[in-house]
Amino acid sequence: MKQFWKVMNTIYEKTMLGIFIVALLVVIYAFYDTWYIFDHANDSSLLKFRPNRVNAAEIEDSPITSDMVAWITIDGTNIDYPVMQGTNNSQYLNLDPYGNFSLSGSIFLDSRNSADFTDQYSIIYGHHMEYGVMFGALDDFLNEDYLKSHTTGELLIGRDGKTVYKLELFYAMTTDAKEEKVFDPEHVDELRQFLEAQGFDRDNRIVCLSTCAGGASTTRTAVFAYILED
């Protein structure tokens, strides 16, 4: 009987040790995965391909795919990224600007919009990442004082960035992901009526920057900006 319990204790100890090792490996992987996603999203090496920082030859040799349609910068934030556009709005959810799989995805223009931002209303999407990375920075614009002190940005059109538009950020809100007047470019008239009711009635073209509102999968943060032409 003593031998039996000795064997059972040995089996128990080895089983518990195995469970502990597996749990430890899961925790280590979780930390690594979180770090990898954040590090990939915060890849500053992209900045060397920003159109007005490189010459024409470097733009031609850029490893960023031909799906790049613009570059967006919002002053005073971490938003300084190429804007991609896929054949649908799922393509760049998990592809980086080089066309490689990435859980952090890319900043991308709605597939229904014109790539040159000549539409009256354009929508740009990005994942909500911690520490203001990707479009995680949009959260701060829900604070009215912050918005008033961060109203400027720039949109460089095309891979060469020869067309430059200034951006004037003017309004931010949270809304349902299925709100058509916000997330369907064809409902621009309804959107303008809504914004006019909030006191914004200029006829400039508008671009919306959108991301998930924290952990709420059906809620979005939307920040609106006027596209200014010289």
Q: What is the pLDDT of residues 134-168, one digit of tens each?
A: 999 999 999 999 999 999 999 999 998 989 999 99
In this predicted structure, the answer to whether residue 216 has a pLDDT above a threshold of 80 is no
Compute the Cα dihedral for 47, 99, 226, 174 and give only its sign. Answer: negative
Query: Can you tell me which residue has the tokens 């031909």?
Result: 66
Provide, for the chain, the percentages of residues in helix, strand and coil under a 3-state DSSP scheme, each rounded to the nearest 5.
40, 30, 30
Share of the chain above pLDDT 90, in %: 63
198/130 Cα distance (integer angstroms): 30
What are the angstrom distances between the C-alpha of 203 and each of 145, 147, 181, 193?
24, 21, 16, 11
CB atoms within 10 A of CB 128: 20
What's residue 65's pLDDT?
94
Confirm if 126 and 144 have CB atoms less than 8 A apart.
no
Query: Can you tell me which residue has the tokens 């200014």?
Result: 228
What are the angstrom distances between the C-alpha of 226 and each of 117, 122, 164, 193, 200?
12, 10, 13, 15, 10
The gap from C-alpha 164 to its chain's centroid, in whole angstroms, comes to 21
Residue ranges of domains in the chain, CATH in brackets: 44-228 (2.40.260.10)
Share of the chain above pLDDT 70, in %: 75
User: pLDDT-derived band of residue 15, with 50, 70 and 90 as boundaries?
Assistant: low
- One-character DSSP codes across 95-133: B-TTS-B-TT--EEE-TTS-TTS-SSEEEEE--B-GGG-
Lookup: tokens for 26: 């899961």
User: pLDDT-derived band of residue 2, with 50, 70 and 90 as boundaries?
Assistant: low
pTM assigned to the model: 0.80
What's residue 34's pLDDT?
41
What's residue 16's pLDDT?
60
The average pLDDT across 64-74 equals 96
In this predicted structure, the answer to whether residue 180 has a pLDDT above a threshold of 60 is yes
Residue count (the chain):
230
Instruction: Tell me which DSSP letter residue 140 carries.
Output: G
The average pLDDT across 175-192 equals 96
What's residue 32's pLDDT?
35
- pLDDT mean across residues, the chain: 84
In this predicted structure, the answer to whether residue 191 has a pLDDT above a threshold of 90 is yes
pLDDT tens digits, residue range 76-130?
999 999 999 999 999 999 999 999 998 889 999 999 999 999 999 999 999 998 7
Closest CA to 62 of 43, 42, 48: 48
Residue 209: partners with Cβ closer than 8 Å, 6 or more residues away: 72, 74, 79, 124, 126, 135, 138, 222, 223, 224, 225
